[in-house]
Amino acid sequence: MQRRENNRIPRGLLLTAALAAVLSAGPLAGGNAAFAAGPGDALAQTAAETAAADQAQAATEAEAAAAEQAQAVTETEAAAADQAQAVTETEAAPSEPVVQGGVLRYEALQEAVHNGNPNVLAAAKSYEDRLAQYEQALNELIFERRDAYSERERAADNRDKDLAKSWKTEYDTYTSSITMYRKMRDSMTSYSAQRSLRQAERQATIAAQSLMISYESLRHQRDTAQKETDLRRRQWELSKTRRAAGLASDVDVLSAENSYLTTASRLSSAEDSLTAAYRNLCYMVGMPDDGSLVIAPLPSPDPSRIAGINLEADTWKAIGNNTTLISQRKQNRGSSTPATDVRLRTNAEGEQKLTAKMASLYEAVLQKQQEYNSAQIGWAKAQEAKRVSDLKASAGLLGEPERLSAELDYVSAEASFSAASLAFLQAMDTYDWAVIGMTGLE
């Protein structure tokens, strides 16, 4: 039997070193920069933070201890709320294809982003590829350790102590590496480790919602401009007829013509903007912009949602969920005693900013609700005025110029109501996103 040299480099060390070199090279092509460091680096950072925390003097200041305990409670409650939100988002997803029948609906926008957004898909693929690397390495290490165990037993049966010792050393090396990779794999698959994936998806969803609201607004503007252009054209033609009858001057005709040309130009601009918004929205959900995707009208805002808002409770959740504050707490954690006041002041300032931001977002919701209610009243009045003018016109009691003017008022009120509805819907959605951590501090 050929004797193995004791100074042989265990394959487990070679495998571990090789994979570490691959992972430290950076994210995979097309991946999300959030995973550039890799869970191995995250574990190292966690270990360093833990070591620093262990070296800090425990309970040096009662105020600091109380503040840190409050932060821990905040993060725990926020994590539970964040996880519940993720579960809600998953359960809310339709079982059928999101873009069913080629129709994109606002309610299913987040799932459409999850399934089709190029950036979100690239981030998920980078994560899955990295996780697969850990799984592959772990499986190979387990196989090699099993082989080392068999070789050690064989050497022991042959009473070759040196070779048995060599195999025992390699077996222990594999065991240590397996433990390390299992920890890294488990860390990577934890809920908190996948936060960056969820954040990327939510950010893309917010952008897609804004685009869809913009698209709907532009569609209303296009339709309004189309109606107004038609009415202005008819007014222009009527002015020429009246001029021929001696009832209007050249100035009247030129004024009507200018109004028509202005609205026609606005119509063309609205159509171009609508096309651009459509293309961007198609990209956000990974669909072709060839016109096959139909953008469904947005739902009407639900004012009853405001009754369920608890600003104080929502602010507390927002503080725990906000990614900027979470990052600050992690960076400042484990600071030495002299830096305790600075650490607490930094965290407190961030919480105060977010508290003010939440109050501002809430006020915006209330303001948009008032504007929505006013526009709704104006729209109802315009509908009634149009009904009356139509009745008068059919009875021959209203001239054509007056009837066209009434139609213009109706179109204008309709546009105002549509704009107010979209602004109200967006304000409520912005507030809801802030509660789950998706807002800046300024």
DSSP 162-206: HHHHHHHHHHHHHHHHHHHHHHHHHHHTSTGGGHHHHHHHHHHHH
pLDDT tens digits for range 51-73: 333 443 333 334 444 444 444 44
Torsion of CA 424, 426, 431, 436, to 10 degrees: 150
Q: What is the pLDDT confidence band of residue 294, given thresholds at 50, 70 and 90? A: very high
Closest CA to 302 of 413, 436, 432, 207: 432
Residue 442 and residue 319 in one domain = yes
Domain boundary among 294, 318, 348: 294
Residue 375 within a domain = yes
CA distance 111 to 205: 9
Residue 80 within a domain = no
Residue 148 and residue 235 in one domain = no
Range of the structural domain that residue 385 is part of: 301-442
pLDDT tens digits for range 137-161: 889 999 999 999 999 999 999 999 9
Q: What is the pLDDT confidence band of residue 211, given thresholds at 50, 70 and 90? A: very high
Residue 287 and residue 305 in one domain = no
Buried b / exposed e over 338-363, threshold 16 CB at 10 Å, is eebeebbebbeebbebbbebbeebbe
Domain boundary among 294, 323, 344: 294
Residue 376 within a domain = yes
Half-sphere exposure of 77 (CA within 13 A, CB side): 15
Residue 135 within a domain = yes
Q: Mean pLDDT across the stretch 257-269?
A: 93
Q: Is pLDDT above 80 for 98?
A: no
Residue 2 and residue 129 in one domain = yes
Residue 248 within a domain = yes
Residue 2 and residue 150 in one domain = yes
Q: Are 35 and 126 in contact (CB under 8 A)?
A: yes
Q: Is pLDDT above 70 for 38?
A: no
pLDDT of residue 193: 67
CA distance 116 to 285: 5
CA distance 154 to 126: 42
Q: Are 118 and 286 in contact (CB under 8 A)?
A: yes
CA distance 436 to 434: 5
Residue 289 and residue 305 in one domain = no
**Quick check: helix, strand or coil at residue 26?**
coil
Q: Are 170 and 10 in contact (CB under 8 A)?
A: yes
Residue 113 within a domain = no
Domain boundary among 254, 272, 294: 294
What is the pTM for the complete model shown?
A: 0.69
Per the structure, the count of domains in the chain is 3
